[in-house]
């Protein structure tokens, strides 16, 4: 198993309630798992915990059986799980060009000289569809979709086995979203990756993943194969999510409106929640 979360709980300092609770997840080779949730569901916290950027308050996240706390900076396991971030612009160093951003990672892990790294970076950027003219530009002069491609190339430069994508297309224009989704899908094949897609957009999850976990208020409320989840949702929250998708032709299979009503606006609580 590539990546595993066991009983993970995360409580932020100065908060009473945990942002994430009792969470388990197993990511195998070439799996494609979706984490579905809205704001406050704990999905962002989960993403950070999965890549080892956040230490859980309880439980642990293991990379090939080794907890993140034991993985040193130079440990080859450090490379195996990488992330694509939501905001394409703030996920890149504004002072570095696309080539430098990717080249830096290549130099670090593959111990090659500056020129070789630079050439490899250019190749990798071409692989992810960045036009040649854009390779030597800084993020300020790239479009959102292009920045996201650079972020993907940077992650791929580590030759990871798991790619965690935190809302990879939410900040992009609709006409560009499909490009990035196609890219992620094809990369999964060509680079033999496992994908963990965190998104509130059910369309994205449906398209990219084989199985999914639905999150609400820090807990997993339902999980299962993606098509089953969409066709026969069991938990009232899952049904509510599916219903809420605007437009008739959107939801996969027709579902009768949720029979079990939830309390009116249960999440419109003020104060407290991050």
Partner 1 sequence: MTAALLEVRDLAIEIAGWEPVVDVSFDVAAGECVAVVGETGSGKTLTCRAVTGLLQRRGGKAVRGSAHFDGVDLLELSDRQWQALRGRRISFIPQTSMSGLDPIMRIRNQLQETIRVIAPQDDPKQRMRELLELVHMPRPEQVLALYPHELSGGMRQRIMIAFALVGRPQLIVADEPTTALDVTLQRNILQLLKELQHETSMSLILVTHDLGVVEEVADSVAIMYAGRVVESGRAATVLREPLHPYTRALLAARPFAAGRDQELAAIGGQPPGAGDHVGGCPFSPRCSIAVGACSENVPPFTPVVDRPDHRVACWRAGKDADDAA
Partner 2 sequence: MRSRRNSFGSLRGWPLSRWVGVVLLGSIVLACIVMPEVWSSSTDAISLPLKGPSFDHPFGTDTVGRDVFVRTFAGGRIDLALTFVVVATSVVIGTLIGTVAGASRRRSIDVVAMRVVDAIIAFPFIVLVLGLVVVIGPTVRWGFIPPGLPSTALALIFISWAFYARIARAEALSLRDRDYVVAARTLGLSPARIVTRHLMPSTVRVCTAFAVGHTVVVVGIVAALAFLGSGVQQPTPEWGSIMYEGASLLQIAWWITVMPGVLLVLSGLSLSLIADSLLDRGIHDR
- Contact predicate 101/147, CB 8 Å: no
The radius of gyration of the chain's CA atoms, rounded to the nearest angstrom, is: 19
DSSP string, 17-66: S-SEEEEEEEE-TT-EEEEE--TTSSHHHHHHHHTTSS--SEEEEEETTE
Binding-residue pattern over the window 16 to 45 for partner 1, x denoting contact by CB under 8 A: ----------------------xx------
What is the rounded CA–CA span in Å between residue 47 and residue 102? 22
Binding mask 221-260 for partner 2 (x = CB under 8 A): ----------------------------------------
Which of 24-32, 76-84, 111-119, 125-133 is the region at the interface with partner 2 (rule: CB under 8 A)? Answer: 76-84
Q: Between residue 121 and residue 160, which ones bind partner 1 under the rule CB under 8 A?
A: 143-146
Binding to partner 1 by residue 265, rule CB under 8 A?
A: yes
Decide: is 174 part of the binding site for partner 1 (CB under 8 A).
yes
Task: Write down the least CB distance from residue 143 to partner 2, Å.
Answer: 13
Q: Binder to partner 1 among 128, 162, 204, 212 (CB under 8 A)?
A: 204
Separation in Å, CA 193 to CA 146, 161, 230: 21, 5, 24
CA-to-CA separations, 108 to 77, 103, 146, 239, in angstroms, rounded: 14, 8, 23, 46
At residue 3, φ and ψ (nearest 5 deg) are: -140, 135
Instruction: In whole angstroms, give the CA distance from residue 63 to residue 81.
Output: 8
249 makes contact, choosing from partner 2, partner 1, none, with CB < 5 to 8 Å by partner type, with partner 1
Among 29, 69, 269, 274, binds partner 1 (CB under 8 A): 269
> Contact positions toward partner 2, by CB under 8 A?
48, 51-53, 73-74, 78-79, 81-83, 85-87, 89-96, 104-105, 108-109, 139-140, 151, 154-155, 158
């Amino acid at each position: 198993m590539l990546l595993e979360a066991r009983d993970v709980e995360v409580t932020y300092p100065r908060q009473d309630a945990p942002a994430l609770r009792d969470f388990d997840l197993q990511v195998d080779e070439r799996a494609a798992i979706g984490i579905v949730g809205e704001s406050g569901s704990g999905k962002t916290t989960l993403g950070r915990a999965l890549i080892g950027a956040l230490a859980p308050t309880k439980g642990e996240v293991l990379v090939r059986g080794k907890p993140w706390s034991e993985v040193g900076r130079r440990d080859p396991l450090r490379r195996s799980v990488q992330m694509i971030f939501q905001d394409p612009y703030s996920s890149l160093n504004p002072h570095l060009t696309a080539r430098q951003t990717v080249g830096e990672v290549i130099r670090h892990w593959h111990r090659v000289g500056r020129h070789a790294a630079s050439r490899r970076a250019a190749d990798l950027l071409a692989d992810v569809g960045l036009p040649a003219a854009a390779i030597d530009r800084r993020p300020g002069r790239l479009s959102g979709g292009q920045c996201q491609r650079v972020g993907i190339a940077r992650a791929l430069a580590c030759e990871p086995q798991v790619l965690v994508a935190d809302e990879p297309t939410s900040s992009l224009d609709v006409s560009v979203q499909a490009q990035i989704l196609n890219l992620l899908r094809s990369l999964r094949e060509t680079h033999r990756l496992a994908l963990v897609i965190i998104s509130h957009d059910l369309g994205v999850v449906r398209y990219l993943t084989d199985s999914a976990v639905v999150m609400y208020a820090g807990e997993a409320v339902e999980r299962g194969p993606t098509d089953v989840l969409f066709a026969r949702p069991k938990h009232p929250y899952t049904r509510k999510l599916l219903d809420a998708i605007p437009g008739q032709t959107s939801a996969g299979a027709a579902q009768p409106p949720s029979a079990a009503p939830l309390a009116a606006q249960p999440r419109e609580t003020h104060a407290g929640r991050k």
